[in-house]
Amino acid sequence: MIMPDAATRSIVIEREMPHPAEKVWRALTESRLIEQWLMKNDFKPLVGHKFNFRSTPMPQWNGITDCEVLIVEPHKKLSYTWAASGDEAAKGWKTVVTWKLTPTKGGVHVRMEQSGFRPEDEGSFKGASYGWQKFVGTLEYVAGELV
Amino acid sequence: MPRTANELFITLADPTRRAIYERLARDGEQTVRALTDRAGVSQPAVSKHLAVLKDAGLVRDRRNGRQTHYRAEPKALKPLVNWMSLYGAFWRERFDRLETLLNRMDK
């Protein structure tokens, strides 16, 4: 799933959720709902709409992620760019987040892929600057799946 | 010596070098000559790439007479895997929150 042998890298997270696709779609596309599980945003489900995710500013990062809606297929597929904002924009990461919903017997299969990580992006995420270390607790669990 | 993910990314960013590393990781120990035959670049170029890989701790070498044999050191990739895991962990945590929200939402 995550291999060091490509020029750019992707992260794929998949999960089966016991909810109708329509409901999951709302959580993915209604700004007020997105904020409750992801980040503050001014998202609209319109192709070409430019929006931001906003979180707490940190050293070396203004906390803003620049995005543009690429694909909107109601209840099925949603895609937007996910890029560094502000001073970091020029050399920062430019990735694409794509959500796919596939109905199953008991609900919906949710697949998220974030693609386009380049080798040089690693520095942007290093150390304390992004606060990722608070997720270290889950590292063991995740690494277990990788090895 | 432990390496940072950054160094590993930079080392493996070169496609020719990455191909050499992948070949060693996939096919096991090989001589410089065997690697050169399939690399599509000159032997000095292959040797140079191997030196960079060795410096990053990604490969180990072993002299046997006039031949030098190289093999991959998969453990050296750990910092890279750890970095990817952290970013994956961000999304996993968000998935958990998404499910919590879905459970709260009206049908």
From the list B84, B99, B107, the residue facing A2 with the nearest CB is B84
Complex ipTM tops 0.85 = no
Residue A74 has pLDDT above 50, yes or no: yes
Is A65 a member of any domain? yes
In a domain, A1, yes or no: no
CATH number where A58 lies: 3.30.530.20
pTM recorded for the entire structure = 0.58
Residue A110, in any domain of the structure:
yes
Chain B partners of A15 at a C-beta cutoff of 8 Å?
Answer: 95, 99
Does A2 lie at the interface with B, CB-CB under 8 angstroms? Answer: yes
Q: Which domain holds residue A98?
A: 9-146
Q: What is d(CA A135, CA A145) in angstroms, rounded to the nearest whole number?
A: 16
Name every residue whose Cβ is closer than 8 Å to that of residue A120 and which is 6 or more positions away in sequence.
A91, B9, B10, B13
Is A102 a member of any domain? yes
Q: Give a yes or no: residue A3 inside a domain.
A: no
- Residue A125 belongs to a domain: yes
Span B52-64, pLDDT tens digits: 999 999 999 999 8
Domain-located, residue A2: no
How many domains, in total, are found in chain A? Answer: 1
The DSSP symbol for A24 reads H
**A134 in any annotated domain:** yes
Instruction: Give pLDDT < 50 ranges for chain B.
Output: 1-2
Q: Chain B within 8 Å of A125 (Cβ-Cβ)?
A: yes
User: Does CATH place domain B5-104 in 1.10.10.10?
Assistant: yes
CB atoms within 10 A of CB A87: 11
